A and B are shown apart, each in its own frame.
Chain A
């Protein structure tokens, strides 16, 4: 069987984009996304080395990492200080491409911001289902909620994002 370290290395390389994208949709900016993704993998590593080999082997990595990432993100929010948003020079790996890329980049950042600003329970469900494209079952597992709840939260989240939700008078 593969050593835990090898498993982890493959896990990072295979899931880095997914987990980074999750951080991006949850936080609404690339710098925080990177921090969330980094902390997620480090927590995963610390857990992994305590697991027996067969547990490591049988792990459903994608759902497991999503669950950790959500926890990392929530713990961050709880302890967060107000952030100063750096407008220049905070994204050294991007922005040097052609103009359309930059435009696309900005549009994406704007959308990520809007998603990140949704109320947490709708946002988390929506992100897992439609950004990360997890199945409802996987999303429910990652959120620790029943499938029905996730479905209705996703639906509500979409409506809020589209500005179609004008509030329920009975709520």
Chain B
């Protein structure tokens, strides 16, 4: 075979394989990697980069997740092998241990504040939207908190399902609708029926006679009290009037 320079030129016409650029960008930490992980919630697609986990969603396929990610987060995304270490951290995180870091770049500082605050809500407990708003210093922005939580790019891991309405309605859920929200809360040990019964009667706080402290009904501290020592309150003013102070842990009201 007589090799001509035109043959050599054809060698130069080979193209990089599909997805090459995205893989390079992912390795440089500029695009995110993603994989499907089996979790207690079923299969979940999780995206991550060197800053931490950046998105999660339950989707039918990787392609669907990629579309959603590019639209929501706006970065490139490349499939990767599901990292065993990450899989372990994901499992721990979903069972209540804090092991993951999260990448919230690209969200507004308000959205970031909402999500970081939501991360503080312990497993098995819930807080009202107004609580998040007050805690981050925007007590009037209850609706905006709802919007920020609805757009939470990392549901399940940043537990937006633990933020509920004070009227007993469970509230909306970006991670699969109210039914999914109820299911996850049940799994975490929240007694939704009891919460809804209390809310229906307008009872929002629970005080303990012996300590004179009032809490949100799901707060860990209230749970140890004997039934006969529990007092219920409609609002903070009523609790204060009865000589109770707000719990320092769940902070049902500003002390």
Chain A: residues with CB nearer than 8 A to chain B? 5, 8-9, 12-13, 16-21, 24-25, 30, 33-34, 37-38, 41-42, 45, 93-94, 108, 111-112, 114-115, 126-127, 130-133, 158, 161-162
Contacts and interface: CB of A to CB of B under 8 A. Distances in A.
Contact of A37 (B3, B16, B76): B16
Q: Which residue among B12, B13, B23, B76 has the maximum number of chain A CB atoms within 10 Å of its CB?
A: B12
B175 to A, nearest CB: 30
Contact of A93 (B5, B8, B10, B18): B18
A28 to B, nearest CB: 10
A126 B7 CA distance: 12
Closest 4 CB pairs of A and B: A20-B16, A130-B8, A93-B17, A16-B16
B63 interface: no
Interface stretch (B25-33, B222-230, B236-244): B25-33
Given A25-B8, A42-B28, 7 more contacts: A20-B17, A33-B14, A34-B16, A41-B28, A108-B10, A130-B5, A130-B8
A8 B28 contact: yes
A25 B27 contact: no
Q: Which residue among A12, A42, A112, A114 has the maximum number of chain B CB atoms within 10 Å of its CB?
A: A12
Nearest to B2: A162
Interface residues of B, number: 24
Interface in B8-58: 8-18, 20-21, 23-25, 27-28, 30
Contacts, number: 85
Nearest to A13: B21
Nearest to A112: B11
Nearest to B28: A45
Contact of A131 (B11, B16, B27): B11
Interface string B61-102: 000000000000000100000000000000000000000000
Contacts of B3: 111, 114, 158, 161-162
Given A5-B30, A93-B18, A111-B3, A12 B11 contact: no
Contact of A12 (B12, B13, B17, B21): B21
A108 B14 CA distance: 9
Nearest to A45: B28
Contacts of B76: 9
A20 B11 contact: no
Contacts of B21: 12-13, 16
Contacts of A131: 8-9, 11-12
B8 A115 contact: yes
A20 B12 contact: no
A113 to B, nearest CB: 11
